[in-house]
Amino acid sequence: MISDSSPIHYTIEGDHRWQVYRRLCELDISCSCTAYQPLTVQINSPIAFIQLWSVMRQATIPRQILVDGLERCWKYRA
């Protein structure tokens, strides 16, 4: 069970931190990001957790690894 009483804290550097923050705001996930402080995210549901995981993955994993994963999925589907 995910507790809604304490936020999850992530430390993400530079551009990635603001990219993740903006996307989470678009998804209506409660978060805050101030100068020189870690990104703080409030997770209140399993769906919000999965969305956070997906956004973090897209922002932090090198693009080529993501592309390779998609290509493998398309090959298995065909």
Please report, for the chain, how many H helices and E strands are present, in that order: 3, 3
In a domain, 3, yes or no: no
29: domain CATH number is 3.30.70
Domain count for the chain, please give it: 1
**pLDDT for position 76:** 78
Q: Rounded to the nearest 5°, which phi and psi values hold at 9?
A: -105, 135
**pLDDT for position 74:** 87
Encode pLDDT of 11-62 as tens digits: 666 778 888 999 999 999 999 888 888 888 888 889 999 999 999 988 888 9
In a domain, 21, yes or no: yes
In a domain, 69, yes or no: yes
In a domain, 2, yes or no: no
Could you list the residue range(s) of the whole structural domain that residue 39 is in? 8-77
Instruction: Count the residues in the chain.
Output: 78
What is the C-alpha separation between 27 and 55, in angstroms, rounded?
10
**pLDDT for position 1:** 46
